[in-house]
């Protein structure tokens, strides 16, 4: 690869990758701040409206193990740019939904397309860039995903407050179109891609991964991370929409500013794990999550916000170290191991949007916080039991 391509081309790739990450997670999470409004407009219960969060997560979980193998065979750029453009269709159709099942179907369709963008973008960065350019692009891509997750919730809440939830989907759809055009215009066709006929081989590696106790423990941690994140930020919305807070969609969307704490803490988590070991950092992350959950039981809104910030910092720390440990613990076929991690991660998110609904009806937010704490403790126990050192400080 020429040095000219590395300088000019890497800038194009970085901008396109950031746009891809942004549009992916803007769409993934855009309904989470709208659940009380959707429930009232579509005459649905919290458990039913929670399916608008669960549907794209479940679809992503289904697709994730296969996406890496498919792109390894057929290429990268065409999937990223094509899926980004196609994503506009179900997003705009969601605005025209006449009932909740149609909205859920649109959200599920979004979830089928999303992994073609974010999973393949990670592979593309690894193929096309080297050295410092890879690290810079990966860091900016990660920042784009976090900013997208915040923006989807915040923009949807703000627009819903002013113009209604259908206008929110129209706005997200137009924003997706702009970002998709940026990706299509700037992302160069892959130059270093070498197609492999590895789909069958990748599938044959599944039994090896699923018999590796270190990986199974890591998958449990991934399940627990997104279960906890979705449970916390789905059902806290219902609490804050009720008296005495009575927050509207815009205010509920602004709560997600605490996600930006993940931008600062994620890079530090990897360095701490390298220095002190994964289990020690996992213990510190658990302490942050449990402390944050305890604070959310208080009444003052600012204390609840502080608690949610601590929950975010702890969960993003767990996510960072679990992702890194996956590649260390996999004996072979590492990309497939990561794909299985992503599946467990999004299965956890799917469960977190639906399973605690009965507890919410029975005991409100304290019950949901207790379930979150229990899942966190179970994941921590798995990590302590099986995250044995893989190096000098593993």
User: Tell me, what CATH number does 179's domain have?
Assistant: 1.20.1250.20
Confidence at residue 381, expressed as pLDDT on a 0 to 100 scale: 97
> Same domain, yes or no, for 70 and 217?
no
* 148-151 CB contacts, 8 Å cutoff, 24+ apart: 148/21, 148/22, 148/23, 148/24, 148/25, 148/26, 148/28, 149/25, 149/26, 149/28, 149/29, 149/256, 149/259, 150/256, 150/257, 150/259, 150/260, 151/22, 151/26
Is the CB of residue 262 less than 8 Å from the CB of residue 144?
no
For residue 262, what pLDDT band results from cuts at 50, 70 and 90? confident
Max avg pLDDT among 9-13, 200-204, 217-221: 217-221
Q: Which of 18-22, 240-244, 319-323, 369-373 has the lowest mean pLDDT?
A: 319-323
Same-domain pairing of 117 and 156:
yes
The neighbour count for residue 263, using CB atoms within 10 Å, is 16
* Same domain flag for 248 and 110: no
Domain boundary among the residues 147, 164, 199 is at: 199
Give yes or no for residue 107 having a pLDDT over 60.
yes
* pLDDT category of residue 56 using cuts at 50, 70 and 90: very high
In this structure, the answer to whether residues 167 and 288 fall within a common structural domain is: no
Summarize pLDDT for 141-163 with one digit per residue, the tens.
Answer: 777 888 898 899 999 999 999 99
Backbone angles phi, psi at 302, to 5 degrees: -65, -30
In three-state secondary structure terms, 247 is: coil
At residue 133, the pLDDT reads 75
Q: What is the DSSP letter of 389?
A: -
State whether 172 and 219 are in the same domain: no
The token pair at 43 is 């005459």
Residue, of 193 and 14, whose pLDDT is higher: 14
Confidence of residue 131 (pLDDT cuts 50, 70, 90): low
pLDDT at 158: 94
Fill in the DSSP letter of residue 192. S
- Among 37, 61, 57, which Cα is nearest to 49's? 37
Query: Per-residue pLDDT for 300 more than 90?
Result: yes
Residue 323 binned pLDDT confidence (cut-offs 50, 70, 90): confident
Query: Is residue 331 scored above 80 in pLDDT?
Result: no
Number of domains in the chain: 2
Mean pLDDT of the chain, nearest integer = 87
152 in the same domain as 112 = yes
Quick one: pLDDT at residue 191? 83
Q: Does the pLDDT value for residue 186 go beyond 60?
A: yes
> What confidence score (pLDDT) does residue 64 get?
80
The alpha carbon of 137 is separated from its chain's Cα centroid by a whole number of angstroms, namely 18
Q: Which residue reads 């969060």 in tokens?
A: 53
Say if residue 179 is in the same domain as residue 272.
no
293 and 167 in one domain?
Answer: no
Contact 227, 50 (CB under 8 A): no
**Greater pLDDT, 117 or 335:** 117
Instruction: Check whether residue 254 and residue 324 sit in a common domain.
Output: yes
Give residue 5's pLDDT band: very low, low, confident or very high (50, 70, 90): very low
**Of 145, 166, 199, the domain-final residue:** 199
CB-based contacts of 63, cutoff 8 Å, min separation 6: 111, 112, 115, 116
pLDDT in tens, 118-130: 888 877 887 787 7
Q: Which two tokens stand for residue 178?
A: 């702009």
Are 144 and 268 in a shared domain? no
Three-state DSSP state, 97: coil
Domain boundary among 155, 175, 199: 199
Helices (H), the chain: 3-4, 10-28, 35-42, 46-49, 51-74, 77-86, 88-95, 100-128, 131-163, 165-186, 199-204, 206-210, 213-241, 249-254, 261-276, 278-296, 301-329, 334-354, 357-386
pLDDT higher than threshold 60 for residue 8: no
Question: Would you state the pLDDT for residue 255?
Answer: 87
If one counts every other C-beta atom within 10 angstroms of the C-beta of residue 339, the result is 23
Instruction: Say what angle helices 213-241 and 301-329 make with each other, to 10 degrees.
Output: 160
Do 258 and 306 belong to one domain?
yes
Distance CA 325, CA 81 (A): 30
Query: Could you list the residue range(s) of the whole structural domain that residue 336 is in?
Result: 205-394
**What pLDDT shows up at residue 2?**
41
State the pLDDT at residue 132.
67
Q: Is 200 a residue whose pLDDT tops 70?
A: no
Tell me, yes or no, whether 333 and 371 share the same domain.
Answer: yes
Neighbours of 208 (CB within 10 A): 15
């Amino acid at each position: 690869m020429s040095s000219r391509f590395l300088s000019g081309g890497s800038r194009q790739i970085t901008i396109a990758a950031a746009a891809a990450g942004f549009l992916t997670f803007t769409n993934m999470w855009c309904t989470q701040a709208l659940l009380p409004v959707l429930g009232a407009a579509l005459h649905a219960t919290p458990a039913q409206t929670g399916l608008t969060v669960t549907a794209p997560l479940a679809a992503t979980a289904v697709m994730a193990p296969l996406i890496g193998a498919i792109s390894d065979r057929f290429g990268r750029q065409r999937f990223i740019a094509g899926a980004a453009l196609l994503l506009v269709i179900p997003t705009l159709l969601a605005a025209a939904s006449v009932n909740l099942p149609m909205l859920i179907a649109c959200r599920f369709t979004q979830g089928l397309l999303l992994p073609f963008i974010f999973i393949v973008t990670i592979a593309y960065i690894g193929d096309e860039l080297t050295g410092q350019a890879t690290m810079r692009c990966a860091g900016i891509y990660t920042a784009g995903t976090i900013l997208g997750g915040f923006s989807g919730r915040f923009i949807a809440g703000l627009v819903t407050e002013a113009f209604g939830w259908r206008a929110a989907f129209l706005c997200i759809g137009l924003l997706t179109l702009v970002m998709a055009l940026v990706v299509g215009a700037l992302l160069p066709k892959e130059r270093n891609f070498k197609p492999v006929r590895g789909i069958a081989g990748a599938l044959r590696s599944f039994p090896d991964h699923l018999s590796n106790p270190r990986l199974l423990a890591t998958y449990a941690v991934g399940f627990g991370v997104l279960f906890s994140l979705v449970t916390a930020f789905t059902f806290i919305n219902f609490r804050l929409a009720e008296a005495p807070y009575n927050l509207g969609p815009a205010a509920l969307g602004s709560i997600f500013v605490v996600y930006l704490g993940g931008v600062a803490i994620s890079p530090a988590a990897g360095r701490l794990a390298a220095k002190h070991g994964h289990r020690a950092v996992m213990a510190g992350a658990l302490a942050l999550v449990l402390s944050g959950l305890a604070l959310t039981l208080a009444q003052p809104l600012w204390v609840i916000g502080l608690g949610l910030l601590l929950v975010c910092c702890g969960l993003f720390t767990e996510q960072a170290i679990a992702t890194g440990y996956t590649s260390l613990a996999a004996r072979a076929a590492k990309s497939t191991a990561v794909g299985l991690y992503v599946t467990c991660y999004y299965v956890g998110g799917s469960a977190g949007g639906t399973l605690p609904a009965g507890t919410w009806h029975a005991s409100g937010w304290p019950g949901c916080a207790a379930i979150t704490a229990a899942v966190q403790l179970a994941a921590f126990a798995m990590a302590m039991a099986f995250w044995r050192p893989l190096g000098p400080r593993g």
